[in-house]
Amino acid sequence: MCGIVGIVGASPVNQAIYDALTVLQHRGQDAAGIVTITEGMFKQRKANGLVRDVFEVKHMQRLRGNLGIGHVRYPTAGSSSAAEAQPFYVNSPFGLALAHNGNLTNAKELREEMAKRARRHINTTSDSEVLLNVLAHELDSIVEDELCEKQVFTAVSRVHKKIRGAYAVAALIIGQGMVAFRDPNGIRPLVLGKKTSDENPEKMEYMVASESVALDAVGFEFVRSVAPGEAVYVTEDGQLFTQQCAENAAHNPCIFEYVYFARPDSIIDKISVYGARVNMGTKLGEKIAREWDDLDIDVVIPIPETSCDTALQIAMHLDLPYRQGFVKNRYIGRTFIMPGQTQRRKSVRRKLNAIDVEFKGKNVLLVDDSIVRGTTSEQIIEMAREAGANKVYFASASPEIRFPNVYGIDMPSANELVAHGREVDEICQLIGADGLIFQDLEDLIVACRESNPEIQTFETSVFNGKYVTNDIDQDYLNYLDQLRNNDAKAVQAHEEVANLELHNEGS
């Protein structure tokens, strides 16, 4: 998952984009980048690392201008090399820079088509660079002289027809403005905000971002979520245009945003992430009461932090004490972001520590938002036993994750998923729990839909294997598996180190 932000302001936007990226940091800790426009030129800084490490004062001083976009990356398709940090840039037409969250499912075909038909070379393995080139190609074929909003929207309509998958995009066009759009299924989130300029009260400033918390953080007022398939175009001088650019737009937001990815204080598609997590607790509490009434649970303990709201609600529902028995070290990254299973294993213990008194001699119910590979849960259960727990039960706020994700979440290989092809008893045994309970998918959907019943279907493929874009077959899953499996990551990492060494030798 990645985070994107774009602002057209009436004064410099570098600080606001930086601040917005820091509150979107949970969406990706692998790389960060900002591009601004000043005096008809792009200014850019991007590199691997956290926002606070990538941007130094000297970079911020160079990022001048009243228009800009930013990105935090979580690697999905493509490697995690610095060359693939975003935003990406092409020089024609006008000069374009683009930031993308999601994954294109036909990137391979598009890459070939771009090379053959448009003679456009794409220099990285990133699908986002492909997307940028498709947009550039479409704009190029439409614009004759001056660019107007109609042409921008025509280009986005054509892009929608060509590309498939999940995408939320913010792009800058030199001398023109910023365009942002969301895929026709609305899989990845995108919100629009506005604010009166502090410097010039006559002027309105506009911002788009992956999550509404980014607007809150920099003083923009939340306007609404960008609709699936819709495009937003803001000219350099601050005029806003919006248009639906997809013929068959549907609303199928990714349910995993509510389970895990988004910050609880965000509102996505009129659904409070916090509210959805509390509802997940009610639903799971009901299931535990229904199916596990013989269980002798003494205390409910969350695996911090995503599951805290859910676990508290379960405890309230079951009339049990809730205790924060694990302490999280806030100063290391999320474990799954680090590539490779070995690193992932090691980092769980570096990330969490148990408070023995909450475990000693007790039957504990541990609650997590999800079980993906099973490494975290296995180790946490072990830690609970080492801390003296008598029985260790485990509850997951989401159902069994059995299928790969093709829309931008790093769950690429079915074989890496502990629930793939396994029943609950087997998973329970593998992670070493005395009892394991998963949320039912219907309940998860009810929990999320409560505050926006207009949403009929969520993107839930990791739980049921139904891919809303209807273009996913076994060949594609195999291709993705190859591209992204742990071995491929290890080889890539090795190559990157080798490349680095070569560069160092030469310099």
CA 31 from centroid of its chain's CA atoms? 13
Burial environment of residue 475 by CB neighbours within 10 A (0 to 12, 13 to 18, 19 or more):
exposed
Told to check if 375 binds ligand AMP by CB under 6 A, we report yes
Question: Which region among 25-33, 82-90, 191-199, 408-416 touches ligand AMP (by CB under 6 A)?
Answer: 408-416
CB of 212 or CB of 377, closer to ligand AMP: 377
Q: How far is the CB of 99 from ligand AMP (least distance, A)?
A: 21
Non-local (6+) Cβ contacts of 475 within 8 A are none
Q: How far is the CB of 444 from ligand AMP (least distance, A)?
A: 14
C-alpha torsion angle, residues 126, 131, 132, 138 (rounded to 10) = 150
Question: Which region among 131-139, 311-319, 404-412, 452-460 touches ligand AMP (by CB under 6 A)?
Answer: 404-412
Q: How far is the CB of 405 from ligand AMP (least distance, A)?
A: 7
Told to check if 282 binds ligand AMP by CB under 6 A, we report no
Told to check if 235 binds ligand AMP by CB under 6 A, we report no
CB of 180 or CB of 348, closer to ligand AMP: 348
98 DSSP β-pair partners: 88, 171
* Secondary element (H or E) of residue 393: strand 391-396
Angle (deg, nearest 10), helices 107-117 and 127-142: 40
Q: How far is the CB of 297 from ligand AMP (least distance, A)?
A: 20
CA distance 293 to 284: 13
CA distance 97 to 173: 7
CB of 217 or CB of 417, closer to ligand AMP: 417
Burial environment of residue 373 by CB neighbours within 10 A (0 to 12, 13 to 18, 19 or more):
buried
Contact flags string 168-207 toward ligand AMP, x per CB under 6 A: ----------------------------------------
What residues form the annotated binding site for Mg(2+)?
Answer: 306, 368-369
Told to check if 410 binds ligand AMP by CB under 6 A, we report yes
Told to check if 4 binds ligand AMP by CB under 6 A, we report no
Told to check if 302 binds ligand AMP by CB under 6 A, we report no
Q: Determine contact, residues 186/246, Cβ cutoff 8 Å.
A: no
Q: How far is the CB of 369 from ligand AMP (least distance, A)?
A: 5
Angle (deg, nearest 10), helices 127-142 and 149-162: 130
CB of 98 or CB of 365, closer to ligand AMP: 365
Question: Which structure tokens are listed for 163?
Answer: 């590309």
Told to check if 411 binds ligand AMP by CB under 6 A, we report yes
Burial environment of residue 381 by CB neighbours within 10 A (0 to 12, 13 to 18, 19 or more):
buried
Q: How many residues bind ligand AMP, per CB under 6 A? A: 17
CB of 273 or CB of 371, closer to ligand AMP: 371
Q: How far is the CB of 380 from ligand AMP (least distance, A)?
A: 9
Nearest Cα neighbor of 27 from 56, 5, 54 is 5
Q: 2, 254, 428, 448: which is the annotated catalytic residue?
A: 2
Q: How far is the CB of 261 from ligand AMP (least distance, A)?
A: 7
Told to check if 336 binds ligand AMP by CB under 6 A, we report yes
Contact flags string 354-373 toward ligand AMP, x per CB under 6 A: --------------xxxxxx
* Secondary element (H or E) of residue 476: helix 474-484
Instruction: Please select the residue that binds ligand AMP; options are 377, 413, 439, 460, rule is CB under 6 A.
Output: 377
Told to check if 309 binds ligand AMP by CB under 6 A, we report no
Active-site annotation holds for 2: yes
Instruction: Please select the residue that binds ligand AMP; options are 78, 184, 193, 374, rule is CB under 6 A.
Output: 374
- 363-368 and 391-396 strand pairing: parallel
Burial environment of residue 296 by CB neighbours within 10 A (0 to 12, 13 to 18, 19 or more):
exposed
For residue 436, report the phi and psi dihedrals to the nearest 5 degrees.
Answer: -140, 135
Q: Determine contact, residues 363/296, Cβ cutoff 8 Å.
A: yes
What residues form the annotated binding site?
Answer: 306, 368-369
Using omega within 30 degrees of 0 as the cis cutoff, is the peptide bond preceding 453 cis? Answer: no
Nearest Cα neighbor of 66 from 215, 202, 197 is 197
Told to check if 326 binds ligand AMP by CB under 6 A, we report no
CB of 327 or CB of 498, closer to ligand AMP: 327
70 DSSP β-pair partners: 5, 34
Q: How far is the CB of 197 from ligand AMP (least distance, A)?
A: 39
Told to check if 81 binds ligand AMP by CB under 6 A, we report no
Told to check if 345 binds ligand AMP by CB under 6 A, we report no
CB of 298 or CB of 305, closer to ligand AMP: 305
CA distance 99 to 33: 9
* Secondary element (H or E) of residue 349: helix 341-351
Nearest Cα neighbor of 199 from 12, 397, 450 is 12
Between residue 250 and residue 279, which ones bind ligand AMP under the rule CB under 6 A? 260
CB of 210 or CB of 306, closer to ligand AMP: 306
Q: Determine contact, residues 33/21, Cβ cutoff 8 Å.
A: no
Told to check if 306 binds ligand AMP by CB under 6 A, we report yes
Non-local (6+) Cβ contacts of 150 within 8 A are none
Told to check if 459 binds ligand AMP by CB under 6 A, we report no
CB of 400 or CB of 410, closer to ligand AMP: 410
Active site residues: 2
Binding positions for ligand AMP, rule: CB under 6 A: 260, 303, 306, 336, 368-377, 409-411
